[in-house]
Each structure stands twice: as structure tokens, then as C-alpha cells.
Amino acid sequence: MTRRSPKPGVRRRAARRRRAAQPSLFWRLTKFLFVLGSVAFVGLAIWVALIARDLPDVSSLGDVERTASLSFYDQNARLIARRGSAHGRAASVDELPDYLIDAVLAVEDRRFYSHYGIDLIGMGRALLANLRAGRVVQGGSTLTQQLAKNLFLSPERTLERKVQEVLLAFWLESRFSKDEILELYLNRVYFGGGAWGVEAASMRYFGRSASEVSLGEAALLAGLLKAPSRYSPVSDAERAAARATVVLDLMEQTGRISPAERIEAAATPIRVSRGASSPGAQYFIDWIAPRVRELAGPGHGDLRITTTLDVDAQRAAERAVSDVLSDPDLARGAGEAALVSLAHDGAVRAMVGGQDYLRSQYNRAILAQRQPGSAFKPFVYASAFEAGLRPDDVRSDSPVQVGDWSPANYNGQYRGDMTLREAFARSSNAVAVRIAEETGRSHIARLAERLGIESRLLVDRSLALGAYEVNPLEMAVAYAAFANGGRRAESYGILLIETADGEILYEAQPVAGDVVLDTRTYAQMQSLFRSVIVWGTGRQAAVSGIEIGGKTGTTNDFRDAWFAGFGGELVTAIWTGNDDNAPTERATGGGPPAAIFSRFMADAPSSGLGAEPVSATLEAYGLAPLTANNTIDANPDVSVDTPAETADEEAEEEDPIAAFLSSLGGNEQR
């Protein structure tokens, strides 16, 4: 029996039924996307859950974790700096001025009271601004997100951390009111200068509570939040003021203050706490901070350190360095400088380790080892006087040769026979070498070490011309004996270390240094130092009303220039040059360093910088330091004998042999 084929109509209806039973492409695509989305959603949910599982513990939200704070004060109890973290009391939003809150919100989160932890509008605005600029110029994080990050998270920039930040922001918003979140933020955020929280910052910069700040001060504090170190008024007052002006502009644009209030606030000077306004003092703090930890030991919490520094003298030193180095005619190609000024017992009253601490924290005052040139000659002459020579003894200023070494005077000029006083004032290389060979190099090296030179000395032919390396601090220490009656000084910077409860952990005791110069040598050296200032190479260091003594020094190729001297109650050593040891534009010791010294001494306090027991020491010697009321000429056996013509600014002969000899091994070393 044969099977009949279906009719054509029946076949077409069956085909249509089969096609109708198959889903269309649209529905298949929709189903695929739905399944994919579901899987992605589940995967994302699992990923977020895993991230949420790793969220930090928030039970310690009210605890403040901090390190001990070290507060450094000058000898007159004025704040210099703080190291470590300083936390003030917790300030409530209700007690803060409305304009302080408005200033913070204007720059950090304008829509704070209208979002729920994240601000999609703000994020979109920031994204658009960044795309236009081609770089990140604006952030989209809310104040709540910043609080979450500051309280609980690390600063790393990863997607995982960002998700945790958003989750914590949601948690904070659900747990606390807006005012509570704002209060937590203001009491935990960093304002620079070691100050955490708005109260500590206000005390740090203005010396009063945050509830008492003016509109301009509030704008300055709010401006710090973006970059506390960059906009710190301690580091750069002009930049901080400019940032505060930006904050005032934003407050006006958002209707938080009126145009008249903005103009008045911008026109009102902001006075930063004076104790916090000397950034260059950080070189000094860097020097003594390790010593504080050694003397105090661990486990004492916050410490108050009274130092030997004098804020007024420090500011005078910084201004002097800045004024000279910023003037090309005075700097003569010197790009850096270092200054150390001591009381006669070695107490550091001022220390400048470089032109700009923010740009370079390298402390040239204690770390830079440079050749002193003729600034070493006082040790040569003092050794000669101990051996029996006198300032009026005559030696020949003519070409000299020691073996195969022939050091020359500046420009090859010689003046024939002259007294040792004139040779010292004119910085004659020939005479210095002659008396060094006559006296004995080893004796000179021992005297220099006795007075305070601690760097290694090479006892060779070039010793008399300072062809070895020292730092400004040890030069100042060694020169102190020429000013304080002949006693050895020891540099120090700490007077007192106390706990927050007033317990004294360390107190410096005055110590009379060993006698390192006899009375006759001391008086004779004062005569020579004074001659340098009156008619010698150091005339530019003179200061009206103050009797000054000192010595200039310049090295080969004019790479280093020095002036070390004393007057009033201070002994000061100054170096100028370049960090890369490049030659200057013929800068000599009688140029930039002498100019810095003169400006510093004229501007520094004229009293209150001395130290005991130096005054008693000088009385026992029947002598006195160089002051306006007690000139060198009043001392016995002292004269300046002004010649018919003054000396040129000195510079040592460009003598590569001297430099070479100083680096040779096998010489007697001290």
C-alpha cells in the first residue's frame, strides 16, 4: 500500500507552524542579554560582598590614633615647630562660626546636605572638567567619602578601595546625621604643620580657638584641605593667601557670603602665629630632633623642648641670606649659602642650612664639607703667636717655595716685607706658608683640633691655605675661642626637655670649656681679626655701632667663599657657593659671605643672646668680648695700625697642586 503525499496547502501550513514555533532573533538576543546581565549582577554582588567582608572594623570610630608630639620652643618660649601629630579638643559644629562651615563646604562638598554619601552630579561635573583639561583637575569624592577614606582606608588608588569607600560612605550616612559627619570630618582631617582637626589647626596657625577665627582665617583653613603642605602659611604666606582668596571667591559664587563680605575679608591681613613663621628653622629642628629622642628615651608621650635658638636672630639670618642670594650683583654666581651663629659657649642661636628649606632639606650648615681657604689662617697665626711671634714681627711677602710647591698670592701680587698683622689682613698666602713652615704644621693642626675642628686634617704643605674640608658648624665652634676669652666651646641646641605634665627629663648644665688659648695669644688674635674689618679683606662685614672681628676665605676657582667672625654676643660662620661645586663669578669671602654677615649682625637682637658662664670667664681673664662699648683697642698689646691703603678682596691663587696634595694618601693625618 503506497503512502500518499500531503497536499501542497497542508505542507505550507505545517511549515508556517514550525517557523512560528522558533523564537525570533530579537527574542533570542533579549534572552541572552538577560541571562548575561543576571550572571554579571550575581557576580558583581558576590564581588561586592567579598569586598564588604574585608571592610575595616568601624567599632573604634570614636578613638583617635596618634603619635607623640614634639613641640620645639626658642630660648624665650616662642613656638618654633611641632613634629609628630597635634590633636586639639573635639569642636562641635554648633560652636563653630557659620562661615567656617560654609568655607569648608564651598571647596570640599557644595551639595553635602543634599546627597546620600555619593554625589552623582558632582562626579559628572568633575569628569567633564577633567576631560576638558586633559588631566585630573577636580575630584568627585564627597566629604563623607573623604571621611571614610581618612578614617578607615589606605591612600592607595584601586577600584577595590574605591568600592569600599562608597560602601563606607553609605554606612556613615545611615549611621550618623549630616552634622555629626561634618563634625567627625573637621575633627579628624589634616591641616598641615602636624595639626589634626580644626581646633588644633586654629591654635597652630592663629593662636586661638577655631570658634574665634575671622572669615579670612576660616577661608585660609579651608584652603589648606586640598594640599596642606603646599598651601601652608608657614611654608609660603603668599601662596596661602592666594588660596584663601580662591575660597572666598567660591563662597561668594555659591551665595554663602556677600560681595561686600568677600572684599572686606580679602582686605583684612591674616596674622600667622609668629612662632610658626620661620620655615628655615626646620634645618635646626632636623639637627636636634634625633638628639631629643636620645636624651628623653621612649614612652613619655608629648614632649616640650626648649631650645637655644632665638627666633628673632633666626629670622634675621634667613633674611640676610635671602637678600644677598636673590641679588645677582651681591651673590656673584653663588646659588646656596649656610650660616651658623653661636653664643660664646656654643649655644646655637641661628642656623640656616640653605636658601629654601622647602626646595632642599639638605642641611649645608652641618653636612656640607667645603675647603675653608684663608678662613683657616687664624689657626696658623695663633700657632705662631703661641710659639713666640708677635703681630708686629715682619716677614717677607714674596714668592715662596716648599719643595716643588710654589703657592702664589691673589693675582700674583707681592708687597715685600710686612708685619704679620698686615699679612693677615691682606690674606697673604706667602707669609702664611712661611710662618706655617717656621712654626710647624703638626702644631697648627693640634691647635685647630684643640679649638674645635673635628674634620680630618691632612698635615701637608697646603694646610696653611685651608686645603681640606670642614663644615660651617665646626668653623663657628672653633672661632668661639677667639671671642670668649680663649675657652673651648661645644655646640648644643637643647636647653630643656619636659613632658606634658611638666616632668623634666633633661636640662642642660652650663659648663666652662677648657682654656685653649693663653691671654696673650687671645689678645693678639683679636688685633688681627679687627684689622681685617677695618682695612683688610673683610671691610664689607663691618656693622655700624658694633665692633667686629673676623676672617675671609676663598678657594680655588672661586668655588667656595667664607666669612667667620664675631661681634657683640655672637660668633658666626658663613659659607656661600654651589651644591655642584661649580665656580662662582669670582665671589670671594669679602663678597657674599661678608655681606650676609653684616646684614645679619645689623638685624639680629643686640642683647639677650649671650650665655653663661662666658661672661665670668672673660672677667677672670681681665678681657671682654667685642662689643660697641668694649673695643679691641682697649685690650693690652692690641692695635689695628691702619696702613696707607686698604687691601683688595682676597682670593687664593688658583693652585691645583694644593688641592691635589690635600687628597693624597700617606700624609700625616689628624
pLDDT at res. 252: 93
Residue 552 has pLDDT above 50, yes or no: yes
Q: From the CA atom positions of the chain, what is the Rg in Å?
A: 36
pLDDT of residue 613: 46
Range with the lowest mean pLDDT among 249-258, 427-436, 617-626? 617-626
Question: pTM of the predicted model, to two decimals?
Answer: 0.71
Q: Which three cell numbers stand for residue 104?
A: 569648608
Helix ranges (DSSP H) in 119-253? 120-133, 143-152, 159-175, 178-188, 198-206, 215-224, 237-253
pLDDT at site 7:
58
Catalytic residue among 108, 217, 650, 653: 108
Residue type, 504: I
Neighbours of 92 (CB within 10 A): 13
Q: What pLDDT, in 10s, does the model give residues 238-249?
A: 888 999 999 999
Pairing relationship of beta strands 86-87 and 195-196 according to DSSP bridges: parallel
Place of cell 672653633: 478
Amino acid at the residue 406 = S
Mean pLDDT of 658-665: 39
Most distant CA atoms of the chain, gap in Å: 156
Task: Give the separation between CA 389 and CA 505, rounded to whole angstroms.
Answer: 49
**Quick one: pLDDT band at residue 657, thresholds 50, 70, 90?**
very low
pLDDT in tens, 150-193: 766 455 555 555 667 777 777 788 788 889 889 988 988 888 87
In terms of Cβ atoms closer than 10 Å to its own Cβ (0-12, 13-18, 19+), residue 154 is: exposed
- Sequence-distant (6+) residues with CB within 8 A of 637 are 520, 523, 524, 527
207: pLDDT confidence band, cut at 50, 70 and 90? confident
Q: Which of 83 and 463 is assigned the larger pLDDT? A: 463
* Residue at grid coordinates 706655617: 436
**How many helices (DSSP H) and strands (DSSP E) are in the chain?**
24, 16
| 108: annotated active-site residue | yes
- Residue tagged active-site, from 374, 428, 527, 598: 374
- Give Cβ neighbours of residue 313 (< 8 Å, ≥ 6 apart): 341, 349, 350, 570, 604, 605, 609
For 602-611, write each residue's pLDDT tens digit. Answer: 999 988 787 6
Q: Is the model more confident about 619 or about 172? A: 172
What is the percent of the chain with per-residue pLDDT over 70, rounded to a whole number? 74
Contacts (Cβ under 8 Å, ≥6 apart) of 665: none
Over residues 221-227, mean pLDDT: 90
Q: What is the pLDDT of residue 498?
A: 95
Question: Cell numbers 668655588 correspond to what residue?
Answer: 559
Burial code (b: 16+ CB inside 10 Å, e: under 16) for 161-199 equals eeebbbbbbbbbbeebeeeebbbbbbbbbbbbbbbbbbb
Query: What's the rounded mean pLDDT across residues 560-588?
Result: 96
